[in-house]
Amino acid sequence: MPVIVIGADTPSGRAIVDALLARPGEVRAFVTDPDEGASLRERGVKVAVGDVSDGSHVGGAATRAFCAVAVVTAAGDDRERSFAATPQAVVDAWIEGLIDAAVARIIVVDDPEVPAHLDPVGGIEWVPVAGDRPHPEIAAEVRRLESAERL
């Protein structure tokens, strides 16, 4: 089933994309850096490049995806944000866009530096993953959760 990684141009996001590419199925990425996007496209990833704070763009890229992986680091690093002033507002915009896109499962890779308060919404599976571990461990956990039939 299709999965999208929001923040695929972060260290954790790159590791997650690598892990997801090792299994069958469509992998999508939402990035802000066109060069990162081009590199991912060369590897077979469907890429959307845009402002990470634009929830409608994130939602559009996630249309018909079963699972979304939200790498919270991308909400609070030094990239430009035109549609939201705070990391929490960015994450809120992502969630709104993902809900609009009817994503069934959202895996949130948390970042201790960017506190994100998430309120579960009915009908969506929410899975937090601690982001304070080595990137390969995070990626393995995301891959396991993404492919699980039930959580």
Amino acid in position 92: D
Stronger pLDDT, 149 or 83, i.e. the higher one: 83
Q: How much is the average pLDDT of 114-136?
A: 66
Tens of pLDDT, residues 38-52: 999 999 999 999 988
CB of 6 closer than 8 Å to CB of 52: yes
Alpha helix stretches (DSSP H) within 9-86: 11-21, 34-42, 55-62, 73-76
Domain that holds residue 80: 3-147
112, two tokens: 């201790």
Domain count, the chain: 1
How many Cα atoms sit within 13 Å of 102 on the Cβ side? 2
Closest listed residue to residue 7, CA positions, set 139, 124, 104, 137: 139
CATH of the domain at 23: 3.40.50.720
Going from the C-alpha of 29 to that of each of 5, 52, 149, the distances in angstroms are 5, 11, 22
Q: 67 pairs with which residues across the strands? A: 3, 105
The position carrying tokens 């499962």 is 105
| Average pLDDT of every residue of the chain | 85
Q: How much is the average pLDDT of 43-71?
A: 93
**pLDDT confidence bin for 22, thresholds 50/70/90:** very high
Full-model pTM: 0.88
pLDDT, residue 14, reads 94
Tens of pLDDT, residues 83-117: 778 888 888 888 889 989 999 888 888 765 555 55
